[in-house]
Amino acid sequence: MVAGKHYFIAKMPDEPGALHRAAEIVKRYKGNIERIHYDRRIDPYVVFFEVTCTEREYDSLTEELKAIGYLQTALNKLGFLKFNVYLPNRSGALFEFLNFTTNAKCNIAFLDFDDKSPRPERLTVSLTIDDISKVDGLLEQLKSRYPLEILEYDTTGRNLDDTVFYIRFAQQLREIVGEKEDEFLMKLLSDVNHIVQELTNLNIDPKQVFQSVLETGKALRDTAGAGFYADVQQFRISNHLDLYAFQMPCGGNIFVLKAPDEMVMIDTGYGSYHEDLAHMLAHYGLGDLSKLKAIYLTHADADHAGGAGLFPVPSHASTGTVKIIESSNRAYGSVSESSVLEEVYTKLINLFSRFSPPGNIREMRGVSDKVGGFDAIGLFRVGDVDFLVLEGLGGHQHGHVYFLSEGHGLMFTGDSLINFHSLSEDRKKYNILAKNLMTSVNVDSEKAEEERKMLMDMARSLDVKMVKKGRRCLVCGGHGAVSVLEGDRLTVNGEQVRFEGEMKG
């Protein structure tokens, strides 16, 4: 049988030799440990393994680990109970009390007792409970024998303490992704742990990593539906073409080019915003999607391409973008391709944002010319305006492209040139979360800086030509407001109007 990579989560007793025993079992079944991570600061009982072995060997070693109680096979919802109990002041009182908690299969998280305190008979207890159905029986037994004061009782997992950190984290993930099967959540935990391991080696606080994962998922969840909003700008580009720019609450911008008989969309935002986007388009008179002829994608990140599969039109993208979508790794084709951070972040953000890849995708390929140092790989027309497709250097992402109308002074620069000063505080905070999980949003920082300078030079040159015509060159970045170049700085151009979720009809 062919060896393959497998993972498992070990739930082991906090005692000498436990990890050694687990490693011996893996060795006995010829498993080669490729990754192991244990951090007592996070959870004193959980160890993550990735091993290479055959399927048969994997089944055997996990069966043996399960037999001795070392294998985490489920992520049951745990309960948390905190109470004061008043014990008699005699020998054996604590032992007798603990008989009840042990029989109910409770894990002691916290005990506080001091016979020199003002209430020497009071014991404060915190418990985590594997089987919530046994709580009522336990409380009845205790109430019949001791005075009892319930301080907290929680079945949601929010108040679990750090001795069951991964269980608590899994329950918080469930609130974001829904009631997924345990096997799915355990694989997701293993992926998140891999990010933690990498960033911990860079001296980054692991708890910050977990918090950034949760905040990313919660931000996407809470800004869809009733919490949705967007900042909107409108421009007349020609006698037969209007531009609508939508800044989504999290993630990238969406642009709609509207001609009398057709529409084209540049980037689609997250898949999780699709229904809200449909309401917003209708509000601005763009709801007739029979006029939508095509989608043009700047790059493959979920906040730019994640809703493409939800529209019944072809999506045009570079070969590099197609490869990234197929590989589910935003760093594909770059110097960062082997980065665990990039690969796992792609999985997480695609999950949280309901990534829906293009079903009908048409590749833009073939060099035909050079413009501003970039390869021109395509051409399209909307209304009476022509656009060149320019392929970037791969700084932000391999296969990233720009759309340029030299005749009308219009540049769609994706995430390679952005007016960061125009971002709201909420959007800035959200963007920082991605940086927390990858250390940089660019797969090649040196190339990203080079691209930015080239695009600034292009905007500056084009703006000089447009000013002679009494107009300005509009820079439409992947985030932030549509802007113009003033000196060496991008500044917001035109009025921004807030669209609120409650405006939906």
For 302-319, the DSSP string reads HHHHTTGGGSSS-EEEEH
Average pLDDT over residues 269-277: 97
Q: How far apart are CA 392 and CA 477, in angstroms?
A: 14
What pLDDT shows up at residue 229?
97
Residue 501: DSSP 8-state: G
Fold classification of 225-503 is: Metallo-beta-lactamase; Chain A (3.60.15)
Q: How far apart are CA 206 and CA 310, in angstroms?
A: 36
Helix, coil or strand: residue 189? helix
pLDDT higher than 90, residue 222 = yes
Strands (E), 329-431: 361-364, 369-371, 374-382, 385-391, 401-405, 410-414
Q: How far apart are CA 267 and CA 265, in angstroms?
A: 6
Would you say 250 and 301 are in contact if contact means Cβ atoms under 8 Å apart? no
pLDDT category at 220 given cuts 50, 70, 90 is very high
pLDDT higher than 50, residue 504 = no
Average pLDDT over residues 315-325: 97
Give Cα separations from 184 to 60, 170, 177, 180, 219 (angstroms).
21, 11, 11, 6, 22
**SS3 sequence of 87-126:** CCCCCCHHHHHHHHHHHCCEEEEEEECCCCCCCCCEEEEE
Joined tokens for residue 129: 């409970």
Chain centre to alpha carbon of residue 63: 33
Chain centre to alpha carbon of residue 43: 23
What pLDDT shows up at residue 505?
44
Residue 388: DSSP 8-state: E
Joined tokens for residue 422: 């125009």
What pLDDT shows up at residue 369?
83
Q: How far apart are CA 296 and CA 401, in angstroms?
A: 10
What pLDDT shows up at residue 157?
56
* Other beta carbons less than 10 A from residue 74's beta carbon: 12
Mind listing the pLDDT tens digit for each residue in 240-269? Answer: 999 999 999 999 999 999 999 999 999 999
Mind listing the pLDDT tens digit for each residue in 39-77? Answer: 888 888 899 999 999 999 999 999 999 999 899 887 766
Q: Which residue, 154, 180, 181, is CA-closest to 168?
A: 154
pTM of the model: 0.85
Task: Report domain extents, the chain.
Answer: 4-67, 79-154, 225-503
Joined tokens for residue 105: 């299969």
Phi, psi dihedral angles at 166 (to 5 degrees): -70, -35
pLDDT higher than 80, residue 154 = no
Mean of the per-residue pLDDT values of the chain: 91
Mind listing the pLDDT tens digit for each residue in 352-370? Answer: 999 999 999 999 876 668 8
Residue 50: DSSP 8-state: E
Give Cα separations from 280 to 254, 274, 355 (angstroms).
11, 10, 20
Q: Tokens 């024998």 identify what position?
A: 145
What pLDDT shows up at residue 162?
55
pLDDT category at 503 given cuts 50, 70, 90 is very low
355 - beta bridge partners?
A: none
Domain formed by 79-154, architecture: 2-Layer Sandwich (3.30)
pLDDT higher than 90, residue 152 = no
Mind listing the pLDDT tens digit for each residue in 375-395? Answer: 999 999 999 999 999 999 999
pLDDT higher than 80, residue 164 = no
Instruction: Give the burial class of 439: count Cβ atoms within 10 A of its Cβ; 0-12 exposed, 13-18 middle, 19 or more buried.
Output: middle
Would you say 200 and 185 are in contact if contact means Cβ atoms under 8 Å apart? no
The amino acid occupying position 440 is: S
Q: How far apart are CA 243 and CA 422, in angstroms?
A: 19
Mind listing the pLDDT tens digit for each residue in 188-216? Answer: 999 999 999 999 999 998 888 999 999 99
pLDDT category at 463 given cuts 50, 70, 90 is very high
Question: Do 4-67 and 79-154 agree at the fold level?
Answer: yes
pLDDT higher than 90, residue 274 = yes
4-67: what CATH class? alpha beta
The amino acid occupying position 244 is: Y
Helix, coil or strand: residue 425? helix
Would you say 154 and 167 are in contact if contact means Cβ atoms under 8 Å apart? no
What pLDDT shows up at residue 244?
98
Q: How far apart are CA 259 and CA 176, in angstroms?
A: 39
* Top-confidence residue, 282 or 111: 282
Would you say 199 and 207 are in contact if contact means Cβ atoms under 8 Å apart? no
